[in-house]
Amino acid sequence: MDEQALHSNQQAFITDGSISNNTKFESNNDKSQLSSENQIFLDEVLEGLNKPQKSLPCKYFYDEKGSQLFEDICELDEYYVTRTELALLEDIKKELAEMIGSRSTIIEPGAGAGIKIQTLLNALDSPELYVPMDISEDFLFYSAQIIQDKFPHIDILPIQGDFTQPVKWLGKNDSENKVVFFPGSTIGNFDKKSATDFLINLGDMIGENGSIIIGVDLIKDTNILENAYNDDSGKTEAFNKNLLARINQQLDGNFDLSQFKHEAIFNHQEERIEMHLISQQEQSVEINSEKFDFSKHETIHTENSHKYSVDSFLALAADANLKSKKIWTDEQQLFSIHYLVQS
Ligand code: AVJ
């Protein structure tokens, strides 16, 4: 392991996997680190709100409250994404395990609630190392501990950092059986250019002989798509507005949440769901003493969720020098899982 090569804003916590107790992964967040995290958050918020089309980075949805809201979203009738992918993963896990083979290293950018990774780890033949990566250190350690308790024989190497940045720390050892697991259609959050760059980074991580298992949500009937992001219970609205609440709390903002309305629309041209917050009146907002003016109905663009056809995703992968060795979709063609290797 080449620790020298760690990206500057990434931190690795190496464990030997031989002991299991509930204090193994402890957050070492101190005040200076928190404020530097907030400084980056602030810079990105100010940059986005100074654009002609105001925007905010969707990666900041996921504080504790936002992560809980996202888990609630996954349970909604309208949000078919999570349950469809999980059912598909159950169906194909044996086949995946055979394709991956034994003694693998599983790398997961953006460690999730853990159900999908547990399904995969359970199916695999003696996996050796699990590398969860997440921007939130607390969430990362929490997830790592759950996995360690359930899989005491697997080594765990949590990496704290922004997984959208290049990670070269895994080195160039091509003899290792490295697999990136990237479920959830999180790839949809990237625009086409960043998605290509990101896939190239993943290709570097896995080396010549590794593979990438990636979940990709499919283009479908516009009503199904839009309903999935405009649910009746208002969970997605709360999730979207939580970004403003975070800015208020962490960055000394004064957004009036009641003066913004959630809306998600499918942009046919760009083949993506866009989430916006629409200003209900002319108003101004201050963040860390910087003032921003909103006209009535002006929007903040908070998230893109790109949808692909099997072919358009193959084209994207090809741009990153990757090819699909196998593609699975559910019966209704709602969701796809690709097994990518170097082309
Ligand atoms: C976690 C990025 C896959 O885009 O469907 C859910 C996030 N946003 N509802 C998605 C999300 C609104 C989700 N991803």
Q: Which domains are present in the chain?
A: 35-73+224-306 (no CATH), 77-220+308-342 (3.40.50.150)
Give the nearest ligand 1 atom to 184 CA.
3
Q: Report the DSSP beta bridge partners of residue 104.
A: 177
Nearest Cα residue to 109 out of 14, 212, 216: 212
pLDDT (0 to 100) of residue 13: 58
Both tokens of residue 73? 């979203």
**Which residues of the chain fall short of a pLDDT of 50?**
1-9, 14-23, 30-34
What is the whole-number distance in angstroms between the Cα of residue 175 and the centre of ligand 1? 35
- Residue with the nearest Cα to atom 5 of ligand 1? 305
CA distances to 170, 226, 256 from 229, rounded to whole Å, are 36, 5, 22
| Residue 185 Cβ < 6 Å to ligand 1 | yes
| Residue 112 Cβ < 6 Å to ligand 1 | no
Q: Please tell me the pTM assigned to this model.
A: 0.89
pLDDT (0 to 100) of residue 266: 98
pLDDT (0 to 100) of residue 26: 59
Both tokens of residue 182? 């990237």
pLDDT (0 to 100) of residue 16: 40
| Residue 186 Cβ < 6 Å to ligand 1 | yes
pLDDT (0 to 100) of residue 169: 57
Q: Report the DSSP beta bridge partners of residue 179.
A: 106, 211
What is the whole-number distance in angstroms between the Cα of residue 196 and the centre of ligand 1? 19
73: three-class secondary structure by DSSP: helix
